[in-house]
Chains A and B, each alone.
Chain A
């Protein structure tokens, strides 16, 4: 039986990955589960310079989900390479480096460093505002996205994944422009724009209002993610990594059925930090039960 999947050249021992921002740099989760068993972990977003992130409240729980506005707080690429990369290598953790930037130059610079360090795979977070050009997100305009991915492709020869934002009307043309620009895979979706509001009426009649504007994630976004993956699958040939509200084996199967070749578990890691190991086990049991030899066979069956 074969849990292994090959994403267009990037080998995973199984199709279960963890999503950026929900798994740190992986070693932190060793107190909960066997991290080296995971198909691949995607690191927290890394930017050229360290980022302190947003001030004020950063998380807000919603019905079946949460909103975050962390603001990509991270240690910067230099410290990542000095401190975290050796741990990932030593522990033999298969990983993808997630990159964030605020200009074309930032991304290209980071991709050059990834190339120089021999990093096998990167995932480009294109939900960041292009600070130099009107603060529009890179991932909402096909021509700016295409320009960005082409520029990264020129300097980075490893496995290049683009993580698409769902906050667009025409996901198909964005996915196509990534494919044309030389991306090796697409991961979808990033968080949805959302606003959490909490109104409390205090005993003295005063009204207390809390609100957090940020990215919505968790189980509630799964139907949106499934729809996006299906739409992307209908137009591109490169593999798709499905992300959005996955919390159990059934969810993984749903993503396979609409075209995902692998999946990333995100917010569920907070709810159940041992979820990855459990899903990998369940997947193995399912293949046995259905008498299937590989994940590819399972996917074919699910897409019939």
Chain B
């Protein structure tokens, strides 16, 4: 199955301050929560990776935040424009043994959490999604609880007590993911977190985006990840 695609932009609008929703029509056959696509940005050497926030019959949704030249280019794409991307890349969240899940999305990290929530709802897995944003202007919808200004970890003990998860899933800045993993360990819960790193190849060969695991080995975020069990990560 080929992983390079030429999709067509069917929607690309600013839904919140500096946050865009991009919808692409493509021939991509399947995608699951946790996976990402890697978009070619003309005149940039490196493609830009984005978590998939929804997938339906070849139609891919991505939520992205304006950051630099790459996202600036993507934001300029109009309906009908061709978009060159690789995907679906990376591994997926797993929930075969999950009965109750707590999902935590910090900032734009909500994107894969929305996809995971949808998958879990379809599978009938109990879940509760907390998201957190710096300001109301950038707060995205779709969560069971939205924190504005504070931290997604505020009142986390109470929420765990109330929702009784067996696994916590999270995506966001590594500082948040580290706290999530620590909290899961403290409460005796499992954790799966989706990491972000600057990537070159996107398929695990260049070894540019590796992290160190507790067993001393290296794992690439693009191929072995982006989703890792909290307990295997060696946080620095």
Residues of A within 8 A of B (CB): 21-25, 28-29, 31-33, 44, 52-53, 55, 57-62, 64-66, 68, 70, 73, 218-219, 267, 269-274
Contacts and interface: CB of A to CB of B under 8 A. Distances in A.
Q: Is the interface of A mostly helix, strand, loop or mixed?
A: loop
B154 to A, nearest CB: 21
A237 to B, nearest CB: 34
A17 B179 CA distance: 46
A68 B218 CA distance: 17
Contacts of A274: 4
Contacts of A29: 203, 205
Contacts of A62: 45
A89 to B, nearest CB: 19
Contacts of B208: 58-59, 68, 70
Given A55-B212, A61-B45, 14 more contacts: A23-B205, A31-B2, A32-B3, A53-B218, A58-B208, A59-B199, A61-B44, A62-B45, A73-B210, A267-B45, A270-B47, A271-B44, A273-B86, A273-B203
Interface string B193-209: 00000111111111111
A31 B3 contact: yes
Given A32-B86, A61-B46, A218-B45, A22 B206 contact: yes
Q: Is the interface of B mostly helix, strand, loop or mixed?
A: loop
Contact of B205 (A44, A52, A272): A44
Given A52-B218, A58-B210, A61-B46, A270 B3 contact: no
A65 B205 contact: no
Contact of A28 (B1, B2, B204, B212): B204
A65 B40 contact: no
Contacts of A219: 45
B76 interface: no
B210 A53 contact: yes
Contacts of B201: 22, 24, 269-270, 273
Contact of B206 (A21, A33, A55, A61): A21
B3 A61 contact: no
Contacts of A73: 207, 210, 218
Contacts of A269: 201
Contacts of A58: 207-210
B218 A31 contact: no
Contacts, number: 88
B43 interface: yes
Contact of A270 (B4, B204, B206): B206
Given A32-B86, A68-B208, A270 B218 contact: no
A64 B206 CA distance: 18
Interface in B188-236: 198-210, 212, 218
23 contacts: A24-B203, A24-B204, A24-B205, A28-B204, A29-B203, A31-B3, A31-B4, A31-B203, A32-B86, A53-B218, A55-B212, A58-B210, A59-B198, A59-B208, A64-B45, A68-B200, A73-B207, A73-B218, A267-B200, A270-B46, A270-B47, A271-B44, A273-B86
Contacts of A53: 207, 210, 218
A52 B198 CA distance: 19
B29 to A, nearest CB: 12
A19 to B, nearest CB: 11
B210 A270 contact: no
Contact of A271 (B46, B198, B205): B46
Contact of B46 (A32, A66, A70, A273): A66
